[in-house]
Amino acid sequence: MKNIKNKGKQILSVCLSIVILLTMFIMPVSAAEAPQTITVKRTKVMESYIGDNNGFTAYATTDNVIVYCMELIKKGATTGTNYTFLEDADAGLAYIIENGYPNKSITNRDEIDQYITQSAVWWYLDEVTGAGNLSEAFQTTDKEAYPGIRDQIKKLVNDAKSASAASEPTMTVTINNINLGLSDDEKYYESDYVTVDLNGASEYQVEINNENSSAVNENGEVKTTFTAGEKFKIRLDASSVTDAASLDVKVKATGTVKQVATYNPSDSSFQKVVSSEVYTKNVGLEKTLTLNVNPEKSNICKVENGKYYGKDGREVDEATYNEECTSSVVAVPDTSANVPMVAIVGGLILIVAGASLIIYRYRTNKN
């Protein structure tokens, strides 16, 4: 019984693995960026699912990416026709591509879904540009091969007309005070926390033009890359600050936005096309903060009243001071310690002078 259970678990595990792999393969993949040139080929002639004479030729690139024609009043391209990138599709056309075949299933029948998507492209362009691609009969009275095909086209078009353009990535960087203040332990000059709000990006980087500084998060961890929503502050080694100065803090991120590409044919008598592949465009984001630092009164690297203070503000001996603060020390005589010595020397001079006077008078009187 135990062996049967173990085998059952193994079979279940294998099945789950297969399901996961299949899911990975059928999920639509976004390309990094739209190619600047494509070459198209005819793939098949579609059946007329609305009316009797409304079939059309289907196209794909030589890399087997489906493309849709945009100008029914022009000829369809011949196999081998080259196309060059024209522009990103508008929000409505991009909506049709993202929600049409092969990116989404509409009826669970691939050829009908492709027919619906192509028809929606022409119909949408008729609505917004007055292109005149589709006849009134196609849009109203022509018989459908399957009930509901026209409704699916109209729904896709109406939703496309309501679609808004994908928002460009944005980054907002805010700080309450651009002046750094001395920390309680007097080891650092620190900024307020910086808040970075990202839209369309998941992380950001911090660069500082001062090798004695670092960026730390709210847990005190020194980092150069932060996740969206994570705050940071700047720490500057206090021992490196001798005069008023400023430092630049550069915040950088890379955002992404989805786009759909349209293409121009090498022969202008052929239709323009729109690719069915959804691409991802990278958008660089950058903001620079200029922060100020003014040395505050502290014991860091100071000599005061004959005492030496090191880089952390604590009292040290002269050798440690010289090592930590890398500056010459000018010794100041302690006059209070020299007073007894002056008195002794003065007394000796008086004694010698008195003895000399006594000897001088003795010799004078004797003569």
CA dihedral sign, ordered 67, 72, 74, 79? positive
Question: pLDDT (tens digit, 9 = 90+) per residue, 203-246?
Answer: 999 999 999 999 999 999 999 999 999 999 999 999 999 889 99
Q: How far apart are the C-alpha atoms of 151 and 257, rounded to whole Å?
A: 30
Helix (H) or strand (E) holding 304: strand 302-304
Does pLDDT of 115 surpass 90?
A: yes
Residue 80: both structure tokens together: 């081998």
Q: How far apart are the C-alpha atoms of 61 and 37, rounded to whole Å?
A: 10
Residue 162, Cβ density class (10 Å: 0-12 exposed, 13-18 middle, ≥19 buried)? exposed
Does pLDDT of 105 surpass 70?
A: yes
Span of 88-97, 177-186, 241-250, 308-317 with lowest mean pLDDT = 308-317
The strand pairing partners of 44, in sequence order, are 58
Residue 232, pLDDT score: 98
Does pLDDT of 315 surpass 50?
A: yes
The strand pairing partners of 85, in sequence order, are 263
The Cβ-side half-sphere exposure at 366, using a 13 Å CA radius, reads: 6
Check: CB of residue 30 under 8 Å from CB of residue 260: no
- pLDDT band for position 312 (50/70/90)? low
Residue 180 has φ and ψ, to the nearest 5°, of -85, 145
DSSP state of 10: H
Q: How far apart are the C-alpha atoms of 209 and 287, rounded to whole Å?
A: 14
**Mean pLDDT on 288-298:** 85
Question: pLDDT (tens digit, 9 = 90+) per residue, 141-159?
Answer: 999 999 999 999 999 999 9
**Mean pLDDT on 298-326:** 79
How far is residue 320 CA from its own chain's centroid? 44
Instruction: State the Cα torsion 131-134-135-139 to the nearest 10°.
Output: -120
- pLDDT band for position 307 (50/70/90)? confident
Residue 279, pLDDT score: 93
Q: How far apart are the C-alpha atoms of 63 and 58, rounded to whole Å?
A: 15
- pLDDT band for position 330 (50/70/90)? very low
Check: CB of residue 56 under 8 Å from CB of residue 134: no
| pLDDT-above-70 percentage for the chain | 78
Does pLDDT of 80 surpass 80?
A: yes
Residue 91 has φ and ψ, to the nearest 5°, of -60, -40
Residue 353 has φ and ψ, to the nearest 5°, of -65, -40
- pLDDT band for position 126 (50/70/90)? very high
The strand pairing partners of 61, in sequence order, are 40
Instruction: State the Cα torsion 326-330-334-335 to the nearest 10°.
Output: -170
Residue 350, pLDDT score: 59
Does pLDDT of 275 surpass 70?
A: yes
CA dihedral sign, ordered 139, 144, 148, 152? negative
Does pLDDT of 20 surpass 50?
A: no
- pLDDT band for position 57 (50/70/90)? very high
Span of 17-26, 61-70, 232-241 with lowest mean pLDDT = 17-26
- pLDDT band for position 359 (50/70/90)? low
**Cβ contacts of 204 within 8 Å, gap of 6 or more:** 171, 196, 198, 225, 226, 228, 251, 252, 253, 285
